C-alpha cells in the first residue's frame, strides 16, 4: 500500500524474499495477522469462494448461513454445521498454522512484543496449532448458543443426538458463528480495530478480502501506518495495494518466511 506497486515474490519459484520485508517484521513492535479459509485449505477444509472446491460453489449460503435459514429449517442448518464439525474434527493444523504459532512465540515470549491473530475461520485450528492471542471474528463451530436463554457453551461430542440439537434448558441450539446479516461480536471487533490502528505490520493470509467488516481492517491498518503483506496463491481486491504480495500457498510461504525472520537457534 505504501508503494506504487507491490513487490511480488514467489518463494515456491526460489525467488528470494525481499530483505526489506524481513527487516520490517523484525523491527515490528506489533504484528497483526488476519487469516481466512485459505490457511486451512491445506488441512483439507474447503474454502468458500474458490472455483469448483469452494463451499459456496456447492451450497447456497442463503439456505444455510443466515438467521432466516435457521428459523425456516433448523434441522437442515444444524445437520450441515454438525457435518462440518465432523469434517473439521478429522483435520489437523498445517505448516501455515504452525508457522504463525512459532512467529507469535518468538514475537511475544522471546522479544516481549505484540502479536494478534485475527481469524475469520470457525475451525479452531489456530489454537490447536498453539497460537495464543487469537481473536475469532466469526465465532467458532465448537461453541453453540441456546436460542431460548442466549447461553453458550462448548459442544465437542459428534454427532449431536438430534437435529436441531437442544440445550439443557430445552431451547434450540445454534452454532455460535456469525451468519450473513449478523453483527460481528463487539468485543472481538473492538480488539481488532484497536490492534489494527497500532500495528507496524499487517498480514492478510488466505482470504478473498470480500466479506466486510473483516475485509476493511487492512485499510484501517494501512491508514494507521502499517506495512501490509498478502499471502495467497491468487489475486484479491487488495493484491495491488499491499506492500508485499507473496503468491503461494500459506503452508509453504509462511514456514519459509518465519525461518528467514527468526534468528537460528542453538548457537
Ligand atoms: N494458502 C493461502 N491462501 C489460499 C490457499 C492456500 N493454500 N488456498 C486458497 N487460498 C485463498 C484463495 O485464493 C482465496 O482468496 O484463500 C481465499 C479463500 O477465500 P474465501 O473462500 O472467500 O474465504 P474467506 O475469505 O475466509 O471468506 C470470508 O466468508 O462465507 C464467509 O463466513 C465465511 O469467514 C468466511 C468469510
Residues 229 and 195 in one domain: yes
Is any ligand 1 atom within 6 A of the Cβ of residue 236? yes
Residues 148 and 246 in one domain: no
Is any ligand 1 atom within 6 A of the Cβ of residue 232? yes
pTM over 0.75: yes
pLDDT band, very low/low/confident/very high, at 1 (cuts 50, 70, 90):
low
Q: Provide the domain limits for residue 254.
A: 11-44+93-138+184-261
pLDDT of residue 57: 86
pLDDT of residue 115: 98
Number of domains in the chain: 2
Residues 138-181: tens digit of each pLDDT: 999 999 999 999 999 999 999 999 999 999 999 999 999 999 99
1: in domain = no
107: in domain = yes
Calculate the alpha carbon distances from 96 to 21, 127, 213, 253 in Å: 18, 13, 24, 8
Residue 53, φ and ψ in degrees, nearest 5: -90, -15
CATH number of the domain enclosing 227: 3.40.50.1220
Residue 156: exposed, middle, or buried by beta-carbon count in 10 A (0-12, 13-18, 19+)?
Answer: exposed
Residue 138 appears among annotated catalytic residues: yes
Residues 200 and 132 in one domain: yes
- What does DSSP assign to residue 178? P
pLDDT higher than 50, residue 2:
no
Residues 26 and 154 in one domain: no
Q: Which atom of ligand 1 is nearest to the CA of 56?
A: 30
Residues 72-107: tens digit of each pLDDT: 999 999 999 999 999 999 999 999 999 999 999 999
Residues 195 and 86 in one domain: no
pLDDT band, very low/low/confident/very high, at 3 (cuts 50, 70, 90):
very low
pLDDT of residue 14: 52
Distance from C-alpha of 226 to C-alpha of 200, rounded to nearest angstrom: 4
Is any ligand 1 atom within 6 A of the Cβ of residue 55? no
Residues 218 and 133 in one domain: yes
Amino acid at each position: 500500500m505504501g508503494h506504487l506497486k507491490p513487490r511480488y515474490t514467489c518463494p515456491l519459484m526460489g525467488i528470494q524474499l525481499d530483505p526489506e520485508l524481513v527487516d520490517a517484521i523484525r523491527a515490528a513492535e506489533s504484528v497483526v495477522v488476519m487469516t481466512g479459509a485459505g490457511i486451512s485449505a491445506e488441512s483439507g477444509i474447503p474454502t468458500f469462494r474458490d472455483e469448483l472446491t469452494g463451499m459456496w460453489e456447492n451450497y447456497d449460503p442463503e439456505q444455510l448461513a443466515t438467521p432466516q435459514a435457521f428459523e425456516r429449517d433448523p434441522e437442515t442448518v444444524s445437520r450441515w454445521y454438525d457435518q462440518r464439525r465432523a469434517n473439521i474434527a478429522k483435520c489437523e493444523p498445517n505448516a501455515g498454522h504452525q508457522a504463525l504459532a512459532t512467529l507469535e512465540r518468538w514475537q511475544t515470549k522471546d522479544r516481549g512484543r505484540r502479536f494478534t491473530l485475527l481469524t475469520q475461520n470457525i475451525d479452531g485450528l489456530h489454537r490447536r496449532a498453539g497460537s495464543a492471542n487469537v481473536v475469532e471474528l466469526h465465532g467458532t463451530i465448537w461453541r453453540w448458543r441456546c436460542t431460548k436463554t442466549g447461553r453458550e457453551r462448548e459442544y465437542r461430542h459428534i454427532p449431536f443426538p438430534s437435529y436441531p440439537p437442544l440445550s439443557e434448558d430445552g431451547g434450540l441450539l445454534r452454532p455460535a458463528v456469525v451468519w450473513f446479516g449478523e453483527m460481528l461480536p463487539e468485543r472481538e471487533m473492538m480488539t481488532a480495530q484497536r490492534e489494527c490502528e497500532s500495528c507496524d505490520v499487517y498480514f492478510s493470509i488466505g482470504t478473498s478480502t470480500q466479506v466486510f467488516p473483516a475485509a476493511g481492517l487492512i485499510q484501517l491498518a494501512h491508514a494507521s501506518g502499517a506495512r501490509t503483506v498478502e499471502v495467497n496463491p491468487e489475486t484479491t481486491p487488495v493484491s495491488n495495494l499491499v506492500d508485499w504480495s507473496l503468491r503461494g500457498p500459506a503452508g509453504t510461504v509462511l514456514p519459509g518466511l518465519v525461518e528467514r525472520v527468526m534468528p537460528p537457534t542453538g548457537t
